[in-house]
Amino acid sequence: MALLEQQWITVQQKTFTKWLNNKIKARNIEIQDLVKDLSDGVTLIHLLEILGNDSLGRYASKPKLRVQRFENVNLSLSYIRSRHIQLTNIGAEDVVDGNRKIILGLIWTLILRFTISDINAEGLSAKEGLLLWCQRKTACYDEVEVRDFSTSWNDGLAFCALLDIHRPDLIDYDSLDKSDHKGNMALAFQIASQEIGIPELLDVEDVADVAKPDERSLMTYIAYWFHAFSAMERVENAGRRVEKFVQNMQGAWEMESSFERRMRELLRAIERQRQQWDEARFEGTYADAKSQAAAFAGYKKGDKRRWVAEKSELASLLGNIKTKLGTYGLRPYSPPAELSLEALEVAWAGLMRAERDRSQIINETIRDIKNGLRKSFADKANGLALALQTLSTSLTGLDGDVEDQLKHAKQLSENLKPLEDYLEIIKKVDAQCIEANIEENDFTTYSYEELEYELGLVKSSVAKKLAFLENQMVARNMTNLTPIQLEEFESVFRHFDREGRNRLTELEFSAALASLGLVYDEQEMRVKFREVADGGLETEGQRTVGFERFIRFMVDVTEDQNSAEQVFESFREVADGKPYVTELDLRHSLIPDELVDELTKTMPEHSGPDLQEDRGLPKYDYIKFMEKLIDEPETNGHPTVNGGSSR
């Protein structure tokens, strides 16, 4: 038992580490040890900010003290709880002290919430919904029986079946050796990674022929399959292609020749630059000083950056040469003394001294002009910063009746235009500072970019506040929605309103409906969008759906949950399009056994032709069954259920 427990802990840690790295790679971060690398709380904060599309605020980015690690982890746990995610028996000390089981449980909680919880099928969600999806997709394969997220997968055929049902062009399922479990699984994993873009969270040995594969690891991995396939008609539309294979490495002699040539060119360029600065003279005019300052700035942004990169690459290239020669057991390579890394360091130190001297001369020449520009910029920047702070304080202090808050918020919005005009004035002064090569200002802590950013934040805050208040006015009038429904619809709307405009584009509208379980084909979705989108705009591409129209649409949809058309379509889906349904069809759809027994007693038998695979099985005519329950003739080809309910 202890060995089995250690096995699932090892597999979980490896799988969860890959899942986490897949999420945080957007920030150029990668961890090696899940337990150790989460102990300071920094990576955990990055993960939560990416998952929640949110900011956790200030934290210790390079914690050195234990108390700083505790503060980081407590900040993360508080954020998780604020998202209504239940945490049981998890404290900051568990993460800081590296409690492996607790950390695995924490990561599993996040995976459930942000990777698996949005999966649903047949009204089920999370684990049950994902399992039902797998069962439906593999039901037509005799060799495959998906009962769970453990031993049902260790022969590799379930993965191959999922590929075949979605992308038969990528795999020849019929030609597979069904007894080659590891080979089939390796093939499925390879195709999923290289052709579909599914992250390689599991290794073949973690699943194939394992007595009891880890359920959580499998669920985490299979959830990626669900998301990859359910978002497209064909897998290639959403699949990610693997990166191109690296080119064949050059021979050792080519690498040595390249190193010496590039080193010689870099040393010559450094010497030419030093000589140019030694010979440079000032004419005594500001125009000349400004021109030379611009040339110096151009050097730092151009030649110097290229030389820094080249210097680093040469050191790396020399290391690669030594490694390559060592791999093949060849004689070690040592470049000529005048082309060695030591010679480069000496030349580089001389360049840095010359650069420092050059900078001092330029700064002394234009210092008086720059000080005047500094003061001009600082006066204006400090004034704008104070105005932004006052406006922000007024916004956060809004209270009382919604109508009054909305009125004051609109007044604050009108005050933004003069501030934008004033920022343009600051921008011109900033341009003059840039022209004079001003890089520091002791009279203010603000830069133009900071002011522009802070003004953008205030504008965004005002816009969000206006949208929130307007939405509250709309929500207050939606009396036929429960508070839970309203909160869910509003949360979905805000999530997909990526730009915070309080409006959804057609793509955002489609994604929002899908997240609520409303999936339409492309033509149906276009019709729905045209019906709901605001009219009166010039072109179709400019149509959007406002919050009120979205909520009213969801009200209309949620009020019709048991129409005859829906019931009829559900029967047809259970029957996989056949004009009859078998007891096996009903049980495979996960209808409770007692209801299946009741249906088989009530529905009339089907007397028409049947399929080869259903011969010998009792067949039930669900079409006649529905016709007995309708009040009126069929509408649009589908019956209407008597009283909106069924037996």
pLDDT tens, residue by residue, 401-411: 777 787 888 88
CATH superfamily of 564-644: EF-hand (1.10.238.10)
Q: Considering the entire predicted model, what is its pTM?
A: 0.37
pLDDT tens, residue by residue, 248-303: 345 678 888 899 999 999 999 999 999 999 988 887 666 687 888 889 999 999 99
CATH assignment of 477-558, among 3.40.50.720, 2.60.40.10, 3.30.300.10, 1.10.238.10: 1.10.238.10
pLDDT tens, residue by residue, 48-84: 899 888 898 899 888 989 999 999 889 999 998 888 8
Domain positions in the chain are 2-116, 120-238, 252-367, 373-467, 477-558, 564-644
Highest mean pLDDT among 270-284, 340-354, 365-379, 433-447: 340-354
**Tell me, which fold does domain 2-116 have in CATH?**
Actin-binding Protein, T-fimbrin; domain 1 (1.10.418)
Residue 369 pLDDT greater than 80, yes or no: no
- What CA–CA distances, in Å, run from 57 to 54, 60, 75? 9, 10, 9
Could you say which DSSP state residue 283 is in? -
Q: With cut-offs at 50, 70 and 90, classify the pLDDT of residue 307.
A: very high
CA–CA dist 330, 228 (Å, integer): 48
Q: Which residues partner with 125 through β-bridges?
A: 120
pLDDT (0 to 100) of residue 560 = 52
Check for a shared fold between 2-116 and 120-238: yes
Which helix (H) or strand (E) segment holds residue 368: the answer is helix 341-396
CATH assignment of 120-238, among 1.20.1250.20, 1.10.1040.10, 3.40.1550.20, 1.10.418.10: 1.10.418.10
User: Mean per-residue pLDDT for 599-624?
Assistant: 84
Which helix (H) or strand (E) segment holds residue 379: the answer is helix 341-396
CATH architecture of 373-467: Up-down Bundle (1.20)
Question: CB neighbours of 134 closer than 8 A, spacing ≥ 6?
Answer: 146, 158, 162, 222
- What CA–CA distances, in Å, run from 10 to 98, 202, 219? 15, 12, 16
CA–CA dist 325, 312 (Å, integer): 20
CA–CA dist 625, 586 (Å, integer): 15
Q: With cut-offs at 50, 70 and 90, classify the pLDDT of residue 564.
A: low
Q: Taking the domain 252-367, which CATH number applies?
A: 1.20.58.60
pLDDT tens, residue by residue, 140-191: 998 899 999 888 898 889 999 999 998 899 999 999 998 899 999 999 999 9
Please report how the helices 252-279 and 341-396 are oriented relative to each other, as an axis angle in degrees rounded to 10. 70
CA–CA dist 379, 386 (Å, integer): 11
Residue 427 CA, chain-centre distance (Å), reads 35
Question: CB neighbours of 442 closer than 8 A, spacing ≥ 6?
Answer: 374
Highest mean pLDDT among 332-341, 398-407, 519-528, 567-576: 332-341
Provide the pairing of β-strand 124-125 with 120-121: antiparallel
Amino acid at 579: P
CB 438 within 8 A of CB 373: yes
Q: With cut-offs at 50, 70 and 90, classify the pLDDT of residue 4.
A: low
Does the CA dihedral 300-305-306-311 come out positive or negative?
positive
